[in-house]
Structure 1
Protein backbone atom coordinates (compact mmCIF):
# COMPACT_ATOMS: atom_id res chain seq x y z
CA UNK A 1 0.00 0.00 0.00
CA UNK A 2 1.38 3.43 -0.88
CA UNK A 3 1.28 6.80 0.84
CA UNK A 4 0.78 10.30 -0.47
CA UNK A 5 1.60 13.80 0.78
CA UNK A 6 -1.46 15.03 2.66
CA UNK A 7 -0.24 18.01 4.66
CA UNK A 8 2.67 20.32 5.47
CA UNK A 9 3.40 22.61 8.42
CA UNK A 10 6.35 24.97 8.33
CA UNK A 11 7.82 27.55 10.68
CA UNK A 12 10.64 29.99 9.91
CA UNK A 13 13.57 30.60 12.27
CA UNK A 14 15.14 34.09 12.11
CA UNK A 15 18.14 32.76 14.01
CA UNK A 16 18.85 29.87 11.61
CA UNK A 17 17.56 31.60 8.44
CA UNK A 18 15.77 28.36 7.63
CA UNK A 19 12.42 26.65 7.82
CA UNK A 20 11.49 23.60 9.82
CA UNK A 21 9.02 21.36 7.99
CA UNK A 22 6.61 18.77 9.34
CA UNK A 23 5.26 16.64 6.50
CA UNK A 24 2.17 14.47 6.85
CA UNK A 25 1.71 11.41 4.66
CA UNK A 26 -1.48 9.37 4.55
CA UNK A 27 -1.66 5.68 3.64
CA UNK A 28 -3.76 4.95 0.58
CA UNK A 29 -6.76 3.17 2.06
CA UNK A 30 -7.85 1.68 -1.25
CA UNK A 31 -6.19 -1.73 -1.02
CA UNK A 32 -7.22 -2.59 -4.57
CA UNK A 33 -5.13 0.30 -5.97
CA UNK A 34 -1.38 -0.14 -6.36
CA UNK A 35 1.27 2.23 -7.64
CA UNK A 36 2.51 1.23 -11.05
CA UNK A 37 5.84 2.92 -10.24
CA UNK A 38 7.49 5.55 -8.02
CA UNK A 39 10.76 7.40 -8.52
CA UNK A 40 12.82 10.17 -6.92
CA UNK A 41 13.72 13.25 -8.97
CA UNK A 42 17.06 15.01 -8.98
CA UNK A 43 17.11 18.34 -7.14
CA UNK A 44 14.42 20.48 -8.75
CA UNK A 45 15.91 23.91 -7.97
CA UNK A 46 19.18 25.73 -7.47
CA UNK A 47 20.00 27.80 -4.40
CA UNK A 48 18.34 31.26 -4.34
CA UNK A 49 16.33 30.33 -7.46
CA UNK A 50 12.62 29.62 -7.97
CA UNK A 51 11.33 26.10 -7.49
CA UNK A 52 8.75 25.21 -10.14
CA UNK A 53 7.99 21.52 -9.93
CA UNK A 54 5.28 19.19 -11.14
CA UNK A 55 5.30 15.39 -11.11
CA UNK A 56 5.41 14.36 -14.75
CA UNK A 57 2.75 12.26 -16.47
CA UNK A 58 0.11 13.03 -13.85
CA UNK A 59 2.06 11.61 -10.89
CA UNK A 60 1.47 12.52 -7.25
CA UNK A 61 4.02 13.70 -4.69
CA UNK A 62 4.60 11.00 -2.09
CA UNK A 63 7.94 12.20 -0.66
CA UNK A 64 10.07 15.33 -0.24
CA UNK A 65 13.77 15.58 0.53
CA UNK A 66 15.78 18.77 0.96
CA UNK A 67 19.04 20.12 2.29
CA UNK A 68 20.03 23.54 3.60
CA UNK A 69 23.20 25.39 2.57
CA UNK A 70 24.43 27.91 5.17
CA UNK A 71 26.30 29.96 2.54
CA UNK A 72 23.14 30.61 0.49
CA UNK A 73 20.75 30.32 3.47
CA UNK A 74 18.41 28.38 1.19
CA UNK A 75 17.25 24.84 0.43
CA UNK A 76 17.25 22.55 -2.59
CA UNK A 77 14.35 20.11 -2.95
CA UNK A 78 13.82 16.74 -4.61
CA UNK A 79 10.56 14.82 -4.81
CA UNK A 80 9.26 11.27 -4.92
CA UNK A 81 6.52 10.97 -7.53
CA UNK A 82 4.21 7.95 -7.73
CA UNK A 83 1.86 6.91 -10.49
CA UNK A 84 -1.18 4.69 -10.25
CA UNK A 85 -2.32 2.36 -13.01
CA UNK A 86 -5.31 3.78 -14.89
CA UNK A 87 -5.11 7.12 -13.09
CA UNK A 88 -6.43 10.44 -14.38
CA UNK A 89 -5.92 13.76 -12.60
CA UNK A 90 -8.67 16.39 -12.77
CA UNK A 91 -9.98 19.52 -11.01
CA UNK A 92 -6.42 20.76 -10.44
CA UNK A 93 -5.86 24.11 -8.76
CA UNK A 94 -3.13 26.15 -7.08
CA UNK A 95 -3.61 26.95 -3.40
CA UNK A 96 -2.24 30.47 -3.68
CA UNK A 97 0.71 31.52 -1.55
CA UNK A 98 0.42 29.57 1.71
CA UNK A 99 2.72 31.89 3.63
CA UNK A 100 4.39 35.25 3.57
CA UNK A 101 8.14 35.54 4.11
CA UNK A 102 9.04 34.68 7.71
CA UNK A 103 5.54 33.40 8.52
CA UNK A 104 4.26 30.03 9.70
CA UNK A 105 1.98 28.00 7.47
CA UNK A 106 -0.08 24.86 7.81
CA UNK A 107 -1.84 23.22 4.88
CA UNK A 108 -3.90 20.05 4.78
CA UNK A 109 -4.88 18.65 1.39
CA UNK A 110 -8.68 18.45 0.95
CA UNK A 111 -10.32 15.00 1.12
CA UNK A 112 -9.80 12.94 -2.07
CA UNK A 113 -7.14 15.38 -3.35
CA UNK A 114 -3.39 15.02 -3.82
CA UNK A 115 -0.39 17.33 -4.26
CA UNK A 116 0.99 17.17 -7.81
CA UNK A 117 3.29 20.19 -7.85
CA UNK A 118 4.94 22.94 -5.83
CA UNK A 119 5.99 26.49 -6.74
CA UNK A 120 8.33 28.34 -4.37
CA UNK A 121 10.21 31.63 -4.52
CA UNK A 122 13.22 32.66 -2.42
CA UNK A 123 13.94 36.16 -1.14
CA UNK A 124 17.47 37.05 0.04
CA UNK A 125 16.40 39.76 2.51
CA UNK A 126 14.56 37.47 4.95
CA UNK A 127 16.39 34.41 3.51
CA UNK A 128 13.06 32.62 3.23
CA UNK A 129 10.70 31.02 0.72
CA UNK A 130 6.99 31.31 -0.04
CA UNK A 131 5.10 28.19 -1.19
CA UNK A 132 2.16 27.47 -3.51
CA UNK A 133 0.90 23.87 -3.96
CA UNK A 134 -0.76 22.40 -7.02
CA UNK A 135 -3.56 20.10 -5.82
CA UNK A 136 -5.60 17.65 -7.94
CA UNK A 137 -8.34 15.08 -7.61
CA UNK A 138 -7.74 11.68 -9.16
CA UNK A 139 -10.09 9.30 -10.87
CA UNK A 140 -9.53 5.64 -11.68
CA UNK A 141 -12.42 5.38 -14.13
CA UNK A 142 -10.52 6.72 -17.13
CA UNK A 143 -11.28 5.94 -20.76
CA UNK A 144 -8.35 3.60 -21.35
CA UNK A 145 -8.40 1.51 -24.49
CA UNK A 146 -7.02 -1.64 -22.91
CA UNK A 147 -6.63 -2.95 -19.36
CA UNK A 148 -2.84 -3.03 -19.76
CA UNK A 149 -2.56 0.67 -20.63
CA UNK A 150 -0.78 2.69 -17.97
CA UNK A 151 -0.78 6.12 -19.64
CA UNK A 152 -2.05 8.88 -17.36
CA UNK A 153 -4.29 11.68 -18.53
CA UNK A 154 -3.65 15.13 -17.09
CA UNK A 155 -5.91 18.19 -17.10
CA UNK A 156 -4.78 21.79 -17.27
CA UNK A 157 -4.33 23.54 -13.95
CA UNK A 158 -5.88 26.93 -13.35
CA UNK A 159 -5.14 29.17 -10.37
CA UNK A 160 -7.98 29.81 -7.92
CA UNK A 161 -8.80 33.46 -7.37
CA UNK A 162 -7.29 34.94 -4.25
CA UNK A 163 -8.01 38.11 -2.31
CA UNK A 164 -4.42 38.40 -1.12
CA UNK A 165 -2.28 41.01 -2.85
CA UNK A 166 0.60 39.60 -4.77
CA UNK A 167 3.64 40.98 -6.55
CA UNK A 168 3.86 38.07 -8.97
CA UNK A 169 2.46 37.45 -12.43
CA UNK A 170 1.26 34.02 -13.55
CA UNK A 171 2.82 32.57 -16.69
CA UNK A 172 2.87 29.29 -18.60
CA UNK A 173 6.15 27.55 -19.34
CA UNK A 174 7.30 24.19 -20.54
CA UNK A 175 9.21 21.91 -18.21
CA UNK A 176 11.39 19.48 -20.12
CA UNK A 177 12.21 16.08 -18.63
CA UNK A 178 15.02 14.47 -20.64
CA UNK A 179 13.37 14.36 -24.06
CA UNK A 180 12.76 17.92 -25.42
CA UNK A 181 9.90 16.53 -27.52
CA UNK A 182 8.02 15.64 -24.31
CA UNK A 183 7.76 18.99 -22.54
CA UNK A 184 5.09 19.31 -19.86
CA UNK A 185 3.23 22.63 -19.68
CA UNK A 186 2.99 23.88 -16.10
CA UNK A 187 1.70 27.03 -14.51
CA UNK A 188 4.24 29.06 -12.58
CA UNK A 189 4.77 32.50 -11.17
CA UNK A 190 7.40 35.17 -11.71
CA UNK A 191 8.22 38.49 -10.10
CA UNK A 192 6.94 41.66 -11.68
CA UNK A 193 9.65 43.82 -13.17
Structure 2
Protein backbone atom coordinates (compact mmCIF):
# COMPACT_ATOMS: atom_id res chain seq x y z
CA UNK A 1 0.00 0.00 0.00
CA UNK A 2 2.81 2.40 0.91
CA UNK A 3 4.61 1.65 -2.38
CA UNK A 4 1.40 2.41 -4.30
CA UNK A 5 1.05 5.75 -2.49
CA UNK A 6 4.67 6.70 -3.25
CA UNK A 7 4.15 5.82 -6.92
CA UNK A 8 1.04 8.01 -7.08
CA UNK A 9 2.85 10.91 -5.38
CA UNK A 10 5.78 10.69 -7.80
CA UNK A 11 3.38 10.73 -10.77
CA UNK A 12 1.60 13.81 -9.42
CA UNK A 13 4.94 15.60 -8.85
CA UNK A 14 6.04 14.71 -12.40
CA UNK A 15 2.74 16.02 -13.81
CA UNK A 16 3.10 19.36 -11.99
CA UNK A 17 6.71 19.66 -13.20
CA UNK A 18 5.51 19.19 -16.80
CA UNK A 19 2.81 21.83 -16.35
CA UNK A 20 5.33 24.33 -14.98
CA UNK A 21 7.72 23.72 -17.90
CA UNK A 22 4.90 24.20 -20.44
CA UNK A 23 3.67 27.38 -18.75
CA UNK A 24 6.98 29.18 -19.31
CA UNK A 25 7.58 28.08 -22.91
CA UNK A 26 7.80 31.44 -24.70
CA UNK A 27 7.27 31.58 -28.47
CA UNK A 28 10.18 33.90 -29.18
CA UNK A 29 13.56 34.87 -27.75
CA UNK A 30 14.62 38.40 -26.87
CA UNK A 31 15.72 40.43 -29.91
CA UNK A 32 14.53 37.67 -32.28
CA UNK A 33 11.67 37.41 -34.74
CA UNK A 34 8.28 36.18 -33.59
CA UNK A 35 5.75 34.24 -35.63
CA UNK A 36 2.65 32.65 -34.17
CA UNK A 37 -0.23 31.19 -36.19
CA UNK A 38 -3.33 29.61 -34.69
CA UNK A 39 -4.48 26.21 -35.97
CA UNK A 40 -6.92 26.50 -38.88
CA UNK A 41 -10.35 27.68 -37.73
CA UNK A 42 -9.14 29.14 -34.42
CA UNK A 43 -8.37 32.69 -33.32
CA UNK A 44 -6.09 34.17 -30.66
CA UNK A 45 -7.77 34.13 -27.25
CA UNK A 46 -4.88 34.63 -24.82
CA UNK A 47 -1.78 36.84 -24.93
CA UNK A 48 0.97 36.68 -22.33
CA UNK A 49 4.15 38.73 -22.34
CA UNK A 50 6.99 39.84 -20.11
CA UNK A 51 9.50 42.66 -20.57
CA UNK A 52 13.24 42.54 -19.88
CA UNK A 53 15.07 45.84 -19.26
CA UNK A 54 18.48 44.46 -20.27
CA UNK A 55 17.21 43.42 -23.71
CA UNK A 56 14.53 46.16 -23.87
CA UNK A 57 12.26 43.60 -25.49
CA UNK A 58 9.40 41.26 -24.67
CA UNK A 59 8.86 37.54 -24.74
CA UNK A 60 5.46 36.53 -26.10
CA UNK A 61 3.10 33.59 -25.72
CA UNK A 62 -0.26 33.11 -27.44
CA UNK A 63 -3.13 30.63 -27.17
CA UNK A 64 -6.02 29.96 -29.53
CA UNK A 65 -9.61 28.69 -29.35
CA UNK A 66 -12.57 28.16 -31.65
CA UNK A 67 -14.67 31.34 -31.74
CA UNK A 68 -16.93 30.68 -34.71
CA UNK A 69 -16.46 29.51 -38.29
CA UNK A 70 -13.88 31.51 -40.23
CA UNK A 71 -13.55 32.19 -43.94
CA UNK A 72 -10.83 33.89 -45.99
CA UNK A 73 -7.65 35.07 -44.29
CA UNK A 74 -5.24 37.91 -45.12
CA UNK A 75 -1.98 39.24 -43.66
CA UNK A 76 -1.52 42.94 -42.83
CA UNK A 77 2.18 43.76 -42.58
CA UNK A 78 4.27 46.29 -40.63
CA UNK A 79 1.34 48.08 -39.05
CA UNK A 80 3.47 50.45 -36.97
CA UNK A 81 6.68 52.38 -37.39
CA UNK A 82 9.42 51.85 -34.81
CA UNK A 83 8.66 53.98 -31.72
CA UNK A 84 5.26 54.77 -33.25
CA UNK A 85 1.61 54.21 -32.54
CA UNK A 86 -0.08 50.97 -33.58
CA UNK A 87 -3.82 51.04 -34.27
CA UNK A 88 -5.25 48.12 -36.20
CA UNK A 89 -8.69 46.62 -36.73
CA UNK A 90 -9.33 43.58 -38.91
CA UNK A 91 -11.52 44.62 -41.85
CA UNK A 92 -15.00 43.09 -42.18
CA UNK A 93 -15.04 42.38 -38.44
CA UNK A 94 -12.41 39.68 -38.88
CA UNK A 95 -10.68 37.68 -36.16
CA UNK A 96 -6.95 38.02 -35.40
CA UNK A 97 -5.54 34.53 -35.96
CA UNK A 98 -1.79 35.14 -36.23
CA UNK A 99 0.97 37.65 -35.54
CA UNK A 100 4.52 38.33 -36.62
CA UNK A 101 7.01 40.86 -35.35
CA UNK A 102 10.67 41.70 -35.57
CA UNK A 103 12.86 43.66 -33.18
CA UNK A 104 15.26 46.52 -33.93
CA UNK A 105 18.03 47.10 -31.36
CA UNK A 106 18.59 50.74 -32.39
CA UNK A 107 14.95 51.65 -31.73
CA UNK A 108 14.45 48.95 -29.05
CA UNK A 109 11.03 48.30 -30.51
CA UNK A 110 9.13 45.86 -32.70
CA UNK A 111 7.12 46.21 -35.89
CA UNK A 112 3.98 44.09 -35.85
CA UNK A 113 1.92 42.27 -38.46
CA UNK A 114 -1.41 40.48 -37.98
CA UNK A 115 -3.37 37.95 -39.98
CA UNK A 116 -7.17 38.26 -39.98
CA UNK A 117 -9.86 35.80 -41.03
CA UNK A 118 -13.41 36.92 -41.78
CA UNK A 119 -16.32 35.27 -39.98
CA UNK A 120 -18.42 33.02 -42.23
CA UNK A 121 -21.76 34.00 -40.71
CA UNK A 122 -22.87 37.61 -40.54
CA UNK A 123 -21.04 40.71 -39.42
CA UNK A 124 -20.10 41.34 -35.82
CA UNK A 125 -20.98 44.90 -34.88
CA UNK A 126 -20.59 45.36 -31.12
CA UNK A 127 -16.91 45.92 -30.45
CA UNK A 128 -14.90 47.94 -27.96
CA UNK A 129 -11.32 48.38 -26.84
CA UNK A 130 -10.16 47.23 -23.43
CA UNK A 131 -8.31 49.54 -21.09
CA UNK A 132 -4.53 49.03 -21.08
CA UNK A 133 -3.80 45.38 -20.26
CA UNK A 134 -0.18 45.87 -19.17
CA UNK A 135 2.04 48.39 -17.45
CA UNK A 136 5.34 49.59 -18.87
CA UNK A 137 8.12 47.09 -18.10
CA UNK A 138 5.47 44.78 -16.61
CA UNK A 139 3.86 41.47 -17.43
CA UNK A 140 0.80 40.98 -19.60
CA UNK A 141 -1.78 38.22 -19.10
CA UNK A 142 -4.75 39.05 -21.30
CA UNK A 143 -7.63 36.63 -21.92
CA UNK A 144 -10.37 37.30 -24.46
CA UNK A 145 -13.70 36.68 -22.68
CA UNK A 146 -15.46 33.48 -23.78
CA UNK A 147 -18.33 35.35 -25.47
CA UNK A 148 -16.03 37.61 -27.52
CA UNK A 149 -13.24 37.44 -30.10
CA UNK A 150 -10.13 39.54 -30.80
CA UNK A 151 -10.49 42.01 -33.68
CA UNK A 152 -7.96 44.79 -33.12
CA UNK A 153 -4.98 46.15 -31.25
CA UNK A 154 -3.80 49.54 -30.04
CA UNK A 155 -0.30 50.13 -28.71
CA UNK A 156 1.82 53.11 -27.69
CA UNK A 157 5.61 53.00 -27.44
CA UNK A 158 7.38 54.93 -24.69
CA UNK A 159 11.03 55.76 -25.38
CA UNK A 160 12.00 56.30 -21.73
CA UNK A 161 10.99 52.75 -20.77
CA UNK A 162 11.61 51.31 -24.27
CA UNK A 163 8.37 49.36 -23.99
CA UNK A 164 4.78 49.35 -25.21
CA UNK A 165 1.42 49.43 -23.48
CA UNK A 166 -1.43 47.56 -25.14
CA UNK A 167 -5.22 47.66 -25.54
CA UNK A 168 -7.18 45.09 -27.52
CA UNK A 169 -10.47 45.33 -29.37
CA UNK A 170 -13.00 42.67 -28.39
CA UNK A 171 -16.17 41.96 -30.39
CA UNK A 172 -19.26 40.06 -29.31
CA UNK A 173 -19.80 36.69 -30.92
Where does residue 104 of structure 2 map in the other structure? 69
Q: TM-score, normalised by structure 2?
A: 0.74
SS in 2 for 1:126: coil
Q: Within 5 Å, which residues of 2 pair with 1:90-109? A: 90-109=125-144
SS in 1 for 2:92: helix
- Residues 90 and 152, structure 2, Cα contact 8 Å, conserved in 1: yes
- Residues 136 and 163, structure 2, Cα contact 8 Å, conserved in 1: yes
RMSD over aligned Cα atoms: 1.3
> Which structure has the highest strand share of the two?
1
Q: Report how far residue 68 of structure 1 moved.
A: 0.5
- Residues 83 and 158, structure 2, Cα contact 8 Å, conserved in 1: yes
Q: TM-score, normalised by structure 1?
A: 0.66
Structure 1: gaps of 5 or more residues: 139-193
Structure 2: gaps of 5 or more residues: 1-39
Where does residue 187 of structure 1 map in the other structure? none
Separation in 2 of the partners of 1:91 and 1:56? 14
Where does residue 164 of structure 2 map in the other structure? 129
Separation in 1 of the partners of 2:148 and 2:139? 23
Where does residue 14 of structure 1 map in the other structure? 53
Deviating above 3 A after TM superposition, structure 1's stretches of 4 or more consecutive aligned residues are none
Separation in 1 of the partners of 2:98 and 2:65? 11
SS in 1 for 2:128: strand
Where does residue 2 of structure 1 map in the other structure? 41
Q: Report how far residue 43 of structure 1 moved.
A: 1.1
1:135-157 Cα distance to aligned partner (Å, 9 max, x none): 0012xxxxxxxxxxxxxxxxxxx
Where does residue 43 of structure 1 map in the other structure? 78
- How many matched pairs? 134
Separation in 1 of the partners of 2:122 and 2:73? 14
Q: Report how far residue 26 of structure 1 moved.
A: 1.5
